[in-house]
Amino acid sequence: MSHSKSIHISRKNVVSGPPRPHSEFKILLYSHDSYGLGHLRRNLAIARGLLERISSASVLLVTGSPCATRFPLPERCDVIKLPAVGKDKDGCYEPRSLNISLNHAIALRRSLIMAAYESFDPDVILIDHQPTGLLGEVLDMIKRASQDGKLSLFGARDIIDSPEIVEKSWSSRECQQVLESCYDHICVYGDELVFDTVQEYPLLTRLQHKLSMLGYIVSPQKNRPGKPLANVPKHVLVTVGGGDDGEQRIQAYIKALQLAPADWTSQIITGPLMNRDKVRYYKRSIKHGELADSVSIHRFHGDIPGLMRQADAVVSMAGYNSCVEIIQSGTPAVLLPRERMRHEQRMRAKRLEALGFVKSVPVDDVTGLRNALEQALALQPSSGWVPDMNVLENLCQLISRMSSRKSSSAPARLRTLSGLT
């Protein structure tokens, strides 16, 4: 049995810089990122939105994502990469790269998180998804930030998991303590007309006085391409998020193509976390098979929303970012939700299908996938009602209001916030 070592970075070894100009405004974002790309992409969108609206701000993103350096960073933003922790086939956490125990990995991450907080000295901390961080690793920082009078926010997507699992996960004494006493506000990234988080999760009822549903997180929409050229085949984008568990969906899509001749082209993005041998296998199979002229396959693309806007239909998992970007693009879509570990994707796919945004098909229903895809390709891009996607403006307004209450000096630092004087 491996024994965890106590890792401590002494405060006296943390170098403090010179006094900062009064106009500086520092925001620390934390994202645990044990699986997939969703949390990283969501926090990068938040960072970009805050920096566009607060000219005096700097953002430090502390993340465990193994893909932390794959995406371009906005100006005045930097990343601290924590040692990666992933999940095994049973959904249990384990170090992704380092040959150390899980306890040792969490202790190392906890020390790095606290050192980042002490050195960066943020005005605002925004913790993503897990109130106490991965296995409690941000507890020390949250309590310290509360004692220091920092503005402490917790941010969560609207659909977290089944109510039973959320109740079990968030009912611990420490979790309840930080939600009630340490966080100044709870920010839910969603629209109650799609999913009313407070009503769905009774655990949050007593916290609704400091909870706001701010809308969905999505980067600004670029202009949609013009009308397709005549005689050009339609095009389908297939995306499976980070790719950790995307193999079954890619296999299902290829089988659906093979049921009958297809009069469209396809672009498959496997995701950077998919096993490299599997990606090579898919590429060889496509290159030397009957689909060589109509299907391309790539491991990574930095602008999935752009690809969605260019496509005539999308086949995707039902992750938060993917679904919001599909709705924003207006492109008809078929979802193949994840069915293990969490209920989140099934819940989201069911809710969005009921609202008419997408079609949802079980991943093992190849015939159903083919039929749903052909129906999607026959549709025109949607231009109807969409949920609130103004979260970045709403979040900035919230930070401005709450910072003003927390500190008399905050308003001066925030006068450059877009739309405020």
Q: Give the residue among 149, 150, 147 at the shortest CA–CA distance from 125.
A: 150
Q: Give the residue among 109, 2, 65, 36 at the shortest CA–CA distance from 342.
A: 36
Spatial neighbors of 109 by CB under 8 A, at least 6 apart, are 64, 82, 83, 85, 134, 137
CA–CA distance, 166 with 85 (Å, rounded to integer): 21
CA–CA distance, 36 with 219 (Å, rounded to integer): 19
End-to-end CA distance of the chain: 60
Rg (CA), the chain: 22
DSSP 8-state class, residue 11:
G
Show the low-confidence residues of the chain (pLDDT under 50): 1-19, 409-421
CA–CA distance, 151 with 396 (Å, rounded to integer): 13
- What pLDDT, on a 0 to 100 scale, did the predictor assign at position 415? 44
Find out whether 142 and 125 touch, Cβ atoms under 8 Å. yes
Token pair in block for residue 241: 């998020």
Spatial neighbors of 262 by CB under 8 A, at least 6 apart, are 294
The CA distances from residue 188 to 63, 251, 253, in Å, are 20, 34, 33
The secondary structure element, H or E, covering residue 184 is none
Spatial neighbors of 29 by CB under 8 A, at least 6 apart, are 43, 46, 47, 59, 60, 61, 62, 63, 125, 126, 128
Token pair in block for residue 367: 């015939």
The CA distances from residue 80 to 72, 74, 84, 267, in Å, are 14, 15, 12, 33
CA–CA distance, 34 with 63 (Å, rounded to integer): 9
CA–CA distance, 180 with 174 (Å, rounded to integer): 10
CA–CA distance, 80 with 64 (Å, rounded to integer): 9
For 197-245, the DSSP string reads: HHHH-GGGGGGGGGEEE-----PPPPPPP-SPPTTPPEEEEEE-TT-TT
The secondary structure element, H or E, covering residue 333 is strand 333-335
Q: What is the pTM of this model?
A: 0.84
Residue tagged 């999913």 (tokens): 195
- What pLDDT, on a 0 to 100 scale, did the predictor assign at position 189? 95
For 72-125, the DSSP string reads: PPPTTEEEEEPPPEEE-TTS-EEESSSSS-HHHHHHHHHHHHHHHHHHH--SEE
Token pair in block for residue 340: 């293990």
Walk me through the domains of the chain, giving residue ranges and CATH numbers: 25-216+390-413 (3.40.50.2000), 234-377 (3.40.50.2000)
- What pLDDT, on a 0 to 100 scale, did the predictor assign at position 3? 43
- What pLDDT, on a 0 to 100 scale, did the predictor assign at position 250? 93
CA–CA distance, 126 with 368 (Å, rounded to integer): 41
CA–CA distance, 274 with 257 (Å, rounded to integer): 21
CA–CA distance, 14 with 115 (Å, rounded to integer): 7
Q: Give the residue among 404, 365, 269 at the shortest CA–CA distance from 413.
A: 404
Phi, psi angles (nearest 5°) of residue 246: -95, -5
pLDDT, one tens digit per residue, over 139-182 is 999 999 999 999 999 999 999 999 999 999 898 889 999 999 99
Residue tagged 């959904």 (tokens): 91
